[in-house]
Structure 1
Amino acid sequence: MTNYSTKEIQERVDNYISQFKEGYFSPLSLMARLTEEVGELAREVNHYYGEKPKKPSEQERTVEEELGDIIFVLSCFANSLDIDLSEAFHSSITKIESRDKHRWTRKD
């Protein structure tokens, strides 16, 4: 099992994308790609945990694979806009921990 920090993920994605003249897609194209990947994740979750089984002709994909695709596209999106995902996550979790600290029933 390989463990990557968000910085390492973003660097690896950037190393991959940087070898091509086309570079990163535009933010609008990346948003469309991210939406597509989230839709594919939703489809897999529905197949595995919902009431809609796969057709025999459908390719086997996994939730794990779709989550990996989302991380890749999200990293492309962040890199293209020069956003550090660790910093973005820190801001978000700090806000959530403060805003929602009394929202849910705590475990004993």
Structure 2
Amino acid sequence: MNDKKLYNTREMQRRVDDYISQFKEGYFSPLSMLARFTEEVGELAREVNHQYGEKPKKASEEENTIEDELGDLLFVAMSFANSLDIDIAQAFDKSMSKIETRDKNRWTRKTDLEDDKND
């Protein structure tokens, strides 16, 4: 692992806010944020398709990584959350609680597979 600082979500949101707050224009409107988020998802999809799909990059195309695109997506998600005064950690916790409850029996648990092997 490198020596770069690892951030918790509050620190991430604060760092994004510190950056955006230095500009007179501030945060984009929610509709513009959604458009920006969609653009970043598209860039991530393109990179995944280049690396794992059937569409190789052209020699003239810029070199990107999935990691870079996920980072861009996180920046936009943090900006979007900040612009609407949403604590991303609370939003994540709420979402995980919903998923853990709703989907708790939806998938085959690894322990179920191990039990089947032992029978």
TM over 0.5: yes
Matched, 1:4 2:7: yes
| Percent identity of equivalent pairs | 70
| The one of 68, 71, 93 aligned to 1:65 | 68
Q: Deviations over 1:48-84 (max 9, x none)?
A: 0111000011000110000000000000000000000
Give the structure-1-normalised TM-score.
0.98
Give the structure-2-normalised TM-score.
0.89
Structure 1 residue runs of 4 or more that deviate by more than 3 Å after TM superposition: none
Larger radius of gyration: 2
Structure 2 distance, partners of 1:11, 1:39, is: 26
Worse-matched range after superposition: 1-10 or 48-57: 1-10
User: CA RMSD, aligned part only?
Assistant: 0.6
Give how far 1:87 is off: 0.3
Gapped regions of structure 2 (runs ≥ 5):
112-119
Map of 1:24-63 to 2, 5 A cutoff?
A: 24-63=27-66
Matched, 1:22 2:11: no
Which AA in structure 2 matches 1:100?
D
Gapped regions of structure 1 (runs ≥ 5):
none
